[in-house]
Structures are given as C-alpha cells and as structure tokens.
Amino acid sequence: MTGSRRPLAGALAMVVPLHIAINGIRPMTSYMALGLGATVEQLGLLSIGFAGLALLTAIPLGRAIDRWGARPFTVAAPALVAAAALGLVLTDSLVVVILLQSAIGLGLVAAAIGYQTLVAAAGPLESADRRFGSLTAVVALSQLAGPAVAGVIAETAAAAGATPADDPHGVTWVFAVMCGLATASAIVAFTLPDPGAPARPGARSGIGADTVQVLRTPGIAGALVVSVVVFGVTDLLVLYLPVFGTQAGWSVGFVAALLATRAGASVAIRLVFGRLIERLGRRVLLAAGCVLGILSAVALPLAGDTVGPFVCLAIFGAAVGMGQPISMAWVARFAPAHLRSTSLGVRLTVNQVWLIAVPPVVGVIIGLAGPAWLFFSIAGLLAATLPPIARGPR
C-alpha cells in the first residue's frame, strides 16, 4: 500500500483497538464503582472525570502536537489508556477509579487530535473529507463493538467460574483484555509515519492568541457551529429518546432498535461517502443532510409506532452521518497549517462544552413543553447550521 493509503490505513488500524478498549472499559467501570459501594449520584463523577480533564486539555494538546508532531502523542495516548486499564485491575478504591477515568479521557482526547492530524495529513486536503468519512465510520463501528466485546468477556469469565467473590461481573478480565488492546494500539501508532510539526511563521504566541487566530480564520467559526450541532444532536437523541418512547408506550427493546438503526445508517452512508461528494459536491451534500435531518426529526413524532420511526431514524442517521466528516475536514482544511492540530483541539473543546451546556437546556424544554419537543429542538439546532453552510468557503 503506497502513497496516502498507507498512513491512512495505519491510522485506522490504531483507532480500532483503542476505541474498542475505551468503549469496553467505560460501562464496566460503572459496575466496578457500584461494587465498591458507589451511589447512583456518585456514578456521575465517572462521567465528569472522563470529560472534565479532556475539556481542559484539548487545546493545549493541539498546540503541543502542532509544535512537536503527532507521533509522540499517538503513541503515549493509548499507552496511557493501557496503564489506566491495568490500574483498574489492581485498585479497590473508588477515588482511584475516578482518577483513572480522567486518565482514560485524557488519553482519548490526545489520541483523537493525533490521529485526526495524521488523517488530515495523509493526502491532499481537498479530499480530506473522504478520509474523515472512513475514520468516523471505523470509530463508530469500534464504539459499537466495545461494549459487546466487554460483555462477551465478562459473561465468558462468569460462565467459566473465573470471577472472584468480590468481582461477580468479571470486570477484572475485561480491564485486562482492554489493557492488551490499548497496548496493541500504541504499538501500531509507533510504526506510523509522522508528518512532523509544520513550519511555524514568526515567533511563538500564547495559547489565547493561537485560539483567537483559529477562530478568526475565515470559515472556521462556521465550521465549528456545523461540527458541534451534527455531533450534539445525536447525543441529544440518545439521551432523551427513551423519554419520548416511555410516553409513546414503546418498549426498551424498540427504542434500542431505533438507536441502532440510526447508528447503522450513519456508518452505512460513510461507506459511500466519496461517490456522493463526486456527484453532489460538499456544500450541497452538507446542506441536504441538514435539511433531511430537520424533516426526519419533525416527522418522527408523527410516524406511528411500527415502521415509520425506523424510516425516520434511518434518514436522520444518514443525514447527520454525512455532516460529521465534512465538518471535520472543513476545520482541518481551512485552519492555518501551523495551527491545524490546535484547531482540532478547539473543535473537541467546543464539543465538550456542548455536552455540558446544551442537554440540560433541552431537558428543561422537554419537561415544560413535552417529549415531542426533543425533535423540534433538534430540528431548530440543525436549521441553525444552514446560514454558516451557505456562507462557508467553497
């Protein structure tokens, strides 16, 4: 495999075991915390630990990658996840579990900025959205596989009688296997070609000045708006669809099948992403995706309780599935070359701020106006992306 394909394939090979490991570890830490006596309220500290440090470090990590290149971070990040997984095997302290969750969150954000930088540099920036389409499809599949793999390991250990009395769920075995997967990711990352740090014009500036320069770059602010919305509306759907489903009389299995349909459609559309771009162009494809997302969201509360919701969520999943890789490439393509990783760090920071700020607001709206307002809120947020898309660079 030659040219840009080799570093792209290597980056994808690094991503698979890393995301399986992280997404296998996270649900099992909840079981571990409960086994250590955590209350339901204390489980929220796991999420805060995972996201909080990532929020604070995304931009500094991006600047560091711009300065020193991606390889040190793409190797160190999965190694940190592996070390945290090993720590989970050895600890019996809830405080340590929370701290190790923070380490895993830090490892994820460092790895994400690193491998996104590698993917952006793996070929011409004009075709970066195709590469990001492959990346986001692989990440989505790995995220689906992680909990399933963890469940198989835990059930196999329990069936074989290999779980001790203080670990009835078999989480220790899960953490040990995930430690091995994260280590494999670090080994793959070590073999990847590193494009190195881009030339930086003039004197080095501070983190605030670099962030302002990224945000003032033509087109970047609009790209961040589109990126955070197409990322965030999916999270809103996952978080609040059970609320609507409960009111509508849908079973847990029915809601789970709807969410799986959405995820599957997002992955499927990315597999034909390149052909769609060639036929329609990026701006038309992105705008069409947002419009289809709006229409499918508004239609879902009226779609009945048989086939209709599945059709709506398949359309919705395909629509927002197109938006994420295009907006990622938009940020990478138009950011200043010496601040490309910083811009990716800004993007991740904006996404984390959304996760903290927006879902509670939508929750209040749903509480006051009814569960159907979940879909109207999603439609309104998607509508807010159309002006930036229209004004964005061609």
Q: Which of 90-104, 114-128, 234-248, 344-358 has the highest mean pLDDT?
A: 90-104
Higher pLDDT among residues 115 and 330, named by residue: 115
- What are the structural domain ranges in the chain? 5-196, 208-391
pLDDT of residue 32: 86
Question: What spatial distance separates the first Cα and last Cα of the chain, rounded to whole Å?
Answer: 32
pLDDT value at 84 more than 90: yes
If you ran DSSP here, which 8-state letter would residue 231 be given? H
Residue in the block written with tokens 């990126």? 227
Q: Which fold has domain 208-391?
A: Growth Hormone; Chain: A; (1.20.1250)
The per-residue pLDDT of the chain, averaged, comes to: 84
Q: Express as a percent the part of the chain with pLDDT over 70.
A: 92
Task: Please give the Cα distance from 236 to 249 (Å, whole number).
Answer: 20
Q: Which of 1-15, 48-62, 312-326 has the highest mean pLDDT?
A: 312-326
Query: Where is average pLDDT lowest: 84-98, 205-219, 232-246, 351-365?
Result: 205-219
What is the CATH number that goes with domain 5-196? 1.20.1250.20
**Would the pTM of this model clear 0.85, i.e. be above it?**
no
CA 379, 50, 75 angle in degrees (round to 5)? 110
Confidence of residue 1 (pLDDT cuts 50, 70, 90): very low
Task: Please give the Cα distance from 43 to 54 (Å, whole number).
Answer: 18
Average pLDDT over residues 125-151: 83
Average pLDDT over residues 129-139: 85
Average pLDDT over residues 33-49: 76
Task: Please give the Cα distance from 104 to 378 (Å, whole number).
Answer: 30
